[in-house]
């Protein structure tokens, strides 16, 4: 609830019962925001995923969370940031006793093979100086049947696997992100490659990488310190940069 949320989160928290998109709210208010500010809503009427896709955002106990961050180094530095955020989410879930969570490059959190959470990072500013990031996170805590029926891929929620208290979850997530984003600013992705590797769902597996105009196949070898996906193809390790790429099990 709002009072407990605002008490627990040690930054400014913009709280809404209903909003189009928490990411959208922050994107249109960047001038007034400070690094670490958070926006949380109970419901989104136009929740969004990557590439204009829809993020089902029914009322209930789901978490719709965005965090604002400025980077003096610019957008180039933000490459691979979704991997950091994935590591943060995996840590919070593990700390709350939820097992079976895995990460799919570059931005998905799975529970027992089904999508539990998504990360959408939107940016504006310069490539090499002063940019603004909105880190959006949606986590399914308890999916209502009707909303679940609308989602066109297998999804998971936390019912039956140790449903956390939403406020507690949001507060832990905010603190973990604050800590991990600071670490990322100091050390870059180096500090996260191993953490990613331990949660990577596809490590060592045969996968297909769907690029805009072709499919690349290989064995997943984790990530490099730029956040690129490493694929072993004919004995050579090739790196693929994020963006319009989707990863699938072969």
Binding mask 126-165 for ligand ATP (x = CB under 6 A): ------------x-x----------xxx-x----------
Choose, from 48, 50, 91, 166, the residue flagged as catalytic. Answer: 50
- Distance of closest approach, residue 82 Cβ to ligand BTN, in angstroms: 9
Which pair of tokens denotes residue 40?
Answer: 């949380």
| Closest by CA position to 128, among listed 72, 81, 172 | 72
Q: Is 50 a catalytic residue?
A: yes
Nearer to ligand ATP, 143 or 189 (CB): 143
The alpha helices in the chain, defined as continuous H runs, are: 2-8, 22-27, 81-95, 145-149, 166-187, 193-199
> Which does residue 31 touch among ligand ATP, ligand BTN, none (CB within 5 to 8 A, set by kind)?
none
91 preceded by cis ω (within 30°)? no
| Closest by CA position to 21, among listed 62, 68, 69, 54 | 54
Indicate whether 177 belongs to the interface with ligand BTN (CB under 6 A): no
Choose, from 53, 124, 205, 248, the residue flagged as catalytic. Answer: 248
Indicate whether 48 belongs to the interface with ligand ATP (CB under 6 A): no
- 3 state SS of 101: strand
- Distance of closest approach, residue 233 Cβ to ligand BTN, in angstroms: 27
Contact in structure between 60 and 141 (CB atoms under 8 Å): yes
Contact in structure between 64 and 46 (CB atoms under 8 Å): no
Q: Is 248 a catalytic residue?
A: yes
Indicate whether 192 belongs to the interface with ligand BTN (CB under 6 A): no
Q: Which residues bind ligand BTN (CB under 6 A)?
A: 21-23, 44, 47-50, 53, 55, 64-66, 107-108, 118-120, 136-138
Give catalytic residues, as residue numbers: 50, 115, 248
């Amino acid at each position: 609830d709002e009072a407990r949320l605002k008490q627990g989160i040690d930054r400014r928290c913009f709280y809404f019962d209903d909003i189009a998109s928490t990411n959208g709210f922050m994107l249109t208010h960047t001038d007034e925001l400070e690094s670490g500010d958070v926006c949380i809503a109970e419901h989104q009427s136009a929740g969004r995923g990557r590439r204009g896709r829809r993020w089902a955002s029914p009322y209930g106990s789901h978490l719709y969370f965005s965090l604002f961050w400025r980077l003096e180094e610019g957008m180039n530095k933000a490459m691979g940031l979704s991997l950091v955020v994935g590591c943060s989410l995996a840590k919070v879930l593990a700390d709350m006793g939820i097992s079976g969570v895995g990460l799919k490059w570059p931005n998905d959190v799975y529970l027992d093979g089904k999508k539990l959470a998504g990360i959408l990072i939107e940016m504006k500013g310069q490539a090499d100086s002063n940019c603004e990031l909105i880190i959006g996170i949606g986590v399914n805590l308890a999916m209502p049947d009707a909303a679940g029926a609308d989602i066109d891929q297998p999804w998971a929620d936390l019912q039956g696997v140790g449903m956390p208290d939403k406020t507690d979850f949001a507060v832990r997530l905010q603190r973990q992100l604050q800590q991990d984003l600071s670490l990322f600013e100091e050390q870059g992705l180096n500090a996260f490659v191993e953490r990613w590797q331990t949660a990577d769902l596809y490590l060592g597996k045969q996968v297909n990488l769907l690029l805009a105009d072709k499919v690349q196949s290989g064995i997943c070898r984790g990530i490099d310190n730029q956040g690129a996906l490493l694929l072993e193809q004919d004995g050579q390790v090739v790196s693929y940069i994020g963006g319009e790429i989707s990863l699938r099990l072969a």
